[in-house]
Structure 1
Amino acid sequence: MFVVLAPGIEVCRYRNTIRDPRERFDFDGYEGLDAAMKRELGDTGWWFDTAALTPEETADRVVREAQRRAPAN
């Protein structure tokens, strides 16, 4: 199953500022990347808004809901 973790541009920027300085990355193309992903992928997979979740909560929810959300074969 294809899952896009999509917390939104502002959350991505914020999360980068609170990372350990050694783990931060310089990236100024959020808007372009977001638009390209939406254009190229459309409604493919599960676009999961993780803005209000911790990494642990995100992982737990993916595991819990993946089978139900997976397309039927």
Structure 2
Amino acid sequence: MYVVVLAPDPQAVAAREAGRDKRAYGGSWTPAALDAVLRRETPRRGLWLDTSALTPGQTVDGILAGLATAQIRDP
């Protein structure tokens, strides 16, 4: 099993959201709020990849390069 967490910074998420027709965030549900919960409450297992400045192709390359880190083995 592999775990990959795509974790761009909140500013990158907000910029991407601004370029989309539909909205996923609003009110107290903001990119910064979601990011804070993700980083505070999600165990640091697998590959955490900051995709803030990556293209989709670079993201795929980063995932493939990090497969050893992403692999989760039973304890």
TM-score, normalization: structure 1? 0.73
5+ residue gaps in structure 2?
A: none
% of aligned pairs identical? Answer: 32
Match of 1:56 in 2: 57
Shift of residue 4, structure 1, vs aligned partner: 1.0
Q: Deviations along 1:29-60, whole A, 9 cap, x unmatched?
A: 22322222222213122211011110121012
Query: Considering only aligned residues, what root-mean-square deviation do their CA atoms show, in Å?
Result: 1.9
Match of 1:18 in 2: 19
Match of 1:40 in 2: 41
Name the structure with the higher helix share: 1
TM-score, normalization: structure 2? 0.72
Q: Deviations along 1:8-49, whole A, 9 cap, x unmatched?
A: 100001011223x2xx31403223222222222131222110
Count of residue correspondences: 69
5+ residue gaps in structure 1?
A: none
